[in-house]
Structure 1
Amino acid sequence: MDIAGTTALVTGANRGIGRRFVEQLLDRGAAKVYATARRPESIGVSDPRVTPLYLDLLDEKSVADAVTAAQDVTLLVNNAGIATGANLLTDDLDMVRQDLETHLFGTLRVIRAFAPVLASNGGGAIVNILSVLSWVATPEGSGSYSVAKAAEWNMTNGVRVELAGQKTLVQGVHLGAADTDMMAGRDTSKIDPADVARASLDGVQEGVMEVLVDAPSRFVKAALSADPAQLYSPLSGE
């Protein structure tokens, strides 16, 4: 899929990885970019090809309104998300539900709404921004987020199968940590959010289903077929 001339919609486009997707799409010649956020006035990208839209993953009407406004979309980037930081055993279950409602059901709601649009425009592509935590949990308050991202990962696999008949590429993008507001204050190695957008869009152009952006995502993916101790012994200090 050639990015030049495409019409894209990016969720969570007002900051972090989402904003870098908007910038990269414009640099690569996208004809139009619908930049969505819960506060579209915060998009902050001044380019006539950018159309800010209100979209909240948990608000069905806002998703339906976005579909009505963006009938020409050929590339959907599902980037919007949250991180409650909830522990699975000690924090309120409503916090765990919030992560799942956003990453699993919210993202799926957007895909279900836009899949017919993509089909009518020839198929196109869907990008889901996932995480290395789709495959591993850490002792740093990531339990709830990991569960939600694991669910979103296999949802990505599921919709890939269901959308194959309409020639829609469904790409999952995994990374360790990017230097975004969500990761502010975390003492860990972080990559430039622009690298995430760049690797993903390179993959879209090449028809790649899964993109491993950095060394942590490549290490964990490779370790999944081995003894789990390879992943969890170092994390527990053994």
Structure 2
Amino acid sequence: MKISGSVALVTGANRGIGRHFTQQLLDRGAAKVYATARNPERIDVPGVETLRVDITDPEAVAAAAATASDVTLLINNAGIATWTNLVTGDLGKIRLEMETHFYGTLSMVRAFSPVLRANGGGAILNVLSALSWFSYDGANAYGAAKAAAWSLTNGVRLELAKQGTLVTGLHLGSADTDMMADHDGEKVDPADVVRAGLDGIEAGQLEVVADEWSAHVKASLAADPSAFYTL
């Protein structure tokens, strides 16, 4: 999968990692970039085609697939963080996390997989998280939804292999974006995360681990959980 000459669609392109994806795709020579958001008027990257897409709205997703019928690269980046726990947190917010990260991502994959097949296979990149692999008190709804999205990514990879579609998962810790503005810990540069993701697509990688924290968390899965968690 080559970025140069590709036709890409990015969800959540109005800010943060999505904005960096949009700009770097153009910089790498993508022939066309559809930049999508719930509020596309906030997209400020010149040279893109904007679309209004709420990934939790099936009709909006279907309309996007009908309009962007030339897509060869789908970047599922749109997300939300409600900072909600599972036991005592608001169920509406927990459902919103799952509707966005799992069902919204799945909706995009289902709508665009026929488009990708018709255009030669192409690739999908799902923006996941180190929280796909661990839980954090105060954001357990996010972690559960990202874990589901990781499993989704592995599953659709198998299902779409027969049509020649590469499916890549991109994992990162905290990035220096608006979503993480209130987080006091170390943050990675979102431009570096996006660069790693696009490099991974071009290298045909199934999974990209973008920073040291994500690599540490993934490695911990093989050990006793008590070595990672302090309860």
Q: State TM-score, norm by structure 1.
A: 0.96
- CA shift at 1:24, angstroms? 0.7
- CA shift at 1:61, angstroms? 1.2
Could you report, residue by residue, the CA deviation over 1:107-132 in whole angstroms, capped at 9, with x for unpaired residues?
10011000000000000000000000
What residue is the counterpart of 2:213 in the other structure? 216
What residue is the counterpart of 1:122 in the other structure? 120
Distance 2:227 2:214 in 1: 14
What residue is the counterpart of 1:229 in the other structure? 226
Q: How many residues align?
A: 231
Distance 1:91 1:103 in 2: 18
What residue is the counterpart of 2:158 in the other structure? 161
- CA shift at 1:60, angstroms? 1.1
Distance 1:59 1:197 in 2: 26
What residue is the counterpart of 2:58 in the other structure? 60
Query: Which one of 82, 97, 100 corresponds to residue 99 of structure 1?
Result: 97
* AA matched with 2:163: Q
What residue is the counterpart of 1:108 in the other structure? 106
Q: Matched residue of 2:65: which SS?
A: helix
Give the 4+ runs in structure 1 shifted more than 4 A: none
**Where do residues 58-207 of structure 1 align in structure 2 (5 Å cutoff)?**
58-139=56-137, 141-207=138-204
- CA shift at 1:169, angstroms? 0.4
Q: Matched residue of 1:232: which SS?
A: coil
* AA matched with 2:164: K
What residue is the counterpart of 2:37 in the other structure? 37
* AA matched with 2:200: G
- CA shift at 1:2, angstroms? 1.1
Distance 1:231 1:58 in 2: 34
- CA shift at 1:142, angstroms? 1.0
- CA shift at 1:68, angstroms? 1.1
Distance 1:85 1:185 in 2: 11
- CA shift at 1:231, angstroms? 1.3
Q: State TM-score, norm by structure 2.
A: 0.99
* AA matched with 1:224: L
Give ranges in structure 1 of 5+ residues lacking alignment. none
Q: Percent identity?
A: 61
Could you report, residue by residue, the CA deviation over 1:35-61 in whole angstroms, capped at 9, with x for unpaired residues?
0000111110112xx100000011111
Distance 2:139 2:191 in 1: 24
Distance 2:228 2:96 in 1: 27
What residue is the counterpart of 2:16 in the other structure? 16
